Amino acid sequence: MTKLQAAKDLVRGSHVALDGASPGASAESLAPFLAPDHLWRAYHPFGELTGAAALGRVFWDPLKSALTRIQRREDIFFAGLNQMDGFESTWVVSMGHLMGLFDQPWLGIRPTGKMAFLRYCAFYRVEGGRIAETAMYFDIPHLMTQAGQCPFPNQTAAHLVQPGPITHDGLLYAAQPEAEGQATLAAINAMITDLGQWKSGLPLQEELARTWHDDMIWWGPEGVGATYTIERYARQHSGPFRAGFGNRSKTTHIARLAEGHYGGFFGWPNFTAVPTGGFMGLPGSDTPGEFRVIDIYRRAGNKLAENWVFIDLLHFWKMQGRDFLKETTGYDHAD
């Protein structure tokens, strides 16, 4: 427990230092908290970066210059040991929005001069008193839509500025009972093991009801949207998604952990699948695509109640030959 609390303190300290740093000082603020060979994984167009200097120069300084007076609005924070390596490594998770005044272009996205929200989730691996690696996923298409540059066709559900948990208890700064985290991880594993390969043999809604509350909320990314209740989730996302894809690979995760009533995982990628039947209103193909995904869950009782989902749809579609960021904003990360 002390180990997890020390890791939380380190990550919270890095947030305070980074959030208080001016554009141009991001790397300096991060350096005391990151390992020299720190690995940062993020959505298209960033990919992988190594070290504080690259992270500050490529991501944080330009973002802070674009979203002035930037503010971290954190909804979920927890830590845990990673099931994927036998509960050896320690990870800390932070999820919420980065909010600021959109005053300068970013990735070719036009500034609005108004408030804008960049939805994010970050997994931090802590080792030897430093952050050794980070997976930070964010919803760039949602920011594009706020700026009037929606890259995708109409989505099947609804995307809003997504709130935190209905219980308002997602910031687990204090230590939590170990049994609660074990119960949350068990609920997540049941969903993955029983349902994750789409082979339960049950009708979809019955399958979902095994591990989800009927009034579940699936907070999906821009391009898909959020949906409420098992019936609408089946109709507005899960059903169309399964119908649109074939040759789904096995699920693989780099980290999967839980604390209290919250847990989650990420992969790089989580799985691959072929959009044989089309996806998001776009035509199908026979080309496999990678799904880089973060899922964060809230458990209530013995079932899952809320799920915040981050999917790198820009990367997926780029593998299908569509560079939606470049098509919409003119930004080319190869320049």
pLDDT in tens, the chain (335 residues): 699 999 999 999 999 999 999 999 999 999 999 999 999 999 999 999 999 999 999 999 999 999 999 999 999 999 999 999 999 999 999 999 999 999 999 999 999 999 999 999 999 999 999 999 999 999 999 999 999 999 998 777 777 789 999 999 999 999 999 999 999 999 999 999 866 556 667 889 999 999 999 999 999 999 999 999 999 999 999 999 888 998 889 889 999 999 999 999 999 999 999 999 999 989 999 999 999 999 999 999 999 999 999 999 999 999 999 999 999 999 987 64
Torsion angle of C-alpha atoms 3, 8, 11, 17, degrees rounded to 10: -120
Which pLDDT value is given to residue 85? Answer: 98
Burial class (CB in 10 A: 0-12, 13-18, 19+), 194: middle
Which pLDDT value is given to residue 198? Answer: 62
Chain centre to alpha carbon of residue 214: 23
Which pLDDT value is given to residue 33? Answer: 98
- 6 Cβ partners below 8 Å, 6+ apart? 126, 129
> Which CATH code for domain 178-329?
3.10.450.50
Which pLDDT value is given to residue 1? Answer: 62
- In angstroms, the CA 261 to CA 307 distance is 12
- In angstroms, the CA 235 to CA 280 distance is 14
pTM (2 decimals)?
A: 0.96
Pick the CATH number of 2-146 from 3.40.50.2300, 3.40.50.300, 3.20.20.70, 3.10.450.50: 3.10.450.50
- In angstroms, the CA 109 to CA 222 distance is 15
CA atoms within 13 A on the CB side of 165: 22
Place of tokens 């997540």: 188
Domain range summary for the chain, segments of one domain joined by +: 2-146, 178-329
DSSP string, 120-136: EEEEEEEETTEEEEEEE
